[in-house]
Amino acid sequence: MYSKIKSMDHPLHLMLVNFPIGLLTTSVIFDILHWVTGNGFWSEIAFWMIAAGGISGLLAAVVGTLDWTGIPAGTHARRVGVWHGTANGVVLALFLVSWLLRLNAPGNPSVLAYILSFLGAALLGGTGWLGGELTGRFGVGIEEGANINAPMTFSGLPANAVPPASHSSLTGKTPVVE
């Protein structure tokens, strides 16, 4: 399950996701600083961080989608990848709308712009965890012999436990250890 797109033999998607995660999360921190200090300069910085985070997020999404197409159909990793990618699309949409709402007043955004950013950042935490499951637990993009049908971490089972093909921890079915 090696990554389709690499740089110096390392999966490019894993390198690219650091930018949108860092930029979008930090934009929320700068918005909080605006609230605490009353200085709109901090929300202006957040405005530009959202722009950079959105652009880098789109790039990471393209590379991630190309890698996802290499995961065999009907596998647990493929289903988790759908959730991961779809939810990250929602994250980018939330931040995009927040950014658009800030266009006329980047130093004094509306409450809705803040709410959308905070929701996006919260959802980003969950999608990042799913991405960690794909790479760390399943070995997608990293290990040639990836266990693409491994149970999720919260199942309590070891990663080498292979559930039946019909299993999906996202539906709550209990995997069987062979």
For residue 178, pLDDT over 50 is answered with: no
On average, the pLDDT of the chain sits at 88
The H or E element containing residue 19 is helix 18-37
For residue 10, pLDDT over 80 is answered with: no
pLDDT category at 177 given cuts 50, 70, 90 is: very low
The owner of tokens 């605490």 is: 36
- What's the rounded mean pLDDT across residues 14-21? 94
The H or E element containing residue 145 is none
Q: Are 45 and 36 in contact, with CB atoms under 8 Å apart?
A: no
The owner of tokens 């980003």 is: 124
